[in-house]
């Protein structure tokens, strides 16, 4: 997990899919322990952050993290499919 978070902070990841709220809690706890919370937040502003649905999105907002996309229905397959269809346009809007 630390390696993946390091890659996100380094700007080597373009898309993050958030599948549940607890996932965000665990990530933020680890970042707090490492002292890299602000770097992670900045990196998230430069990448596409897709949330599976309202509960995960609420948790992202709680931590002041961006939400660039939610699928039409809260299903894993739609999260992946619809995010992949929108990624280029969403990234272009961040540059």
- Strand segments (E) across 1-95: 15-18, 48-51
Give the pLDDT confidence of 20-75 residue by residue, as tens digits.
999 999 999 999 999 999 999 999 999 999 999 999 999 999 999 999 999 999 99
Q: Which fold has domain 2-94?
A: Rossmann fold (3.40.50)
* Long-range Cβ contact pairs of 59-68 (< 8 A, separation 24 or more): 59/21, 59/24, 59/25, 60/18, 60/24, 63/24, 63/28, 65/24, 65/41
CB atoms within 10 A of CB 40: 20
Its pTM stands at 0.93
């Amino acid at each position: 997990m630390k390696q993946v978070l390091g890659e996100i902070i380094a700007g080597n990841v373009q898309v993050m899919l958030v599948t549940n709220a607890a996932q965000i809690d665990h990530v933020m706890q680890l970042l707090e322990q490492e002292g890299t919370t602000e770097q992670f937040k900045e990196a998230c502003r430069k990448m596409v952050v897709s949330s599976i649905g309202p509960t995960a999105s609420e948790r992202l907002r709680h931590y002041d993290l961006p939400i660039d996309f939610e699928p039409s229905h809260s299903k894993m397959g739609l999260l992946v499919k619809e995010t992949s269809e929108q990624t280029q346009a969403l990234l272009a809007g961040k540059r």
